[in-house]
């Protein structure tokens, strides 16, 4: 029983480490007069169109992504509970 709990704790620690690593990554893309900076945790950091930063568009996209992340987390939580029952966690 303690081995399974220890494994679960190790898994949670690894997930946390991966999340931190992803948050530290970023990518910049540019096409024509439009550019974007996205972090590894899928958050838009900056959108520039024709040399003007568009914060409303950035916020809109980030809000939509956050809502999708919430839906995904809910689905994953349900699957996680199924796995815990299956493996006795």
How confident is the model over 6-17, as pLDDT tens digits? 888 898 999 999
- Per-residue DSSP letter, 27: E
How confident is the model over 41-64, as pLDDT tens digits? 889 999 999 999 999 999 999 999
Q: Could you tell me which of 70, 71, 68, 52 has the C-alpha nearest to residue 60?
A: 68
Q: What number is the average pLDDT over the span 26-31?
A: 97
pTM for this structure?
0.64
Q: Could you tell me which of 33, 52, 55 has the C-alpha nearest to residue 44?
A: 55
Number of domains in the chain: 1
């Amino acid at each position: 029983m303690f081995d399974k709990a220890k494994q679960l704790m190790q898994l949670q620690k690894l997930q946390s480490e991966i999340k931190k690593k992803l948050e530290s990554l970023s990518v910049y893309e540019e096409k024509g007069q439009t550019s974007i900076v996205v972090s590894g945790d899928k958050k838009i950091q900056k959108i520039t169109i024709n040399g003007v930063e568009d914060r409303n568009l950035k916020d809109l996209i980030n809000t939509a992504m956050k809502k999708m992340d919430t839906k995904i987390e809910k689905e994953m939580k349900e699957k996680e509970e199924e796995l815990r029952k299956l493996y006795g966690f």
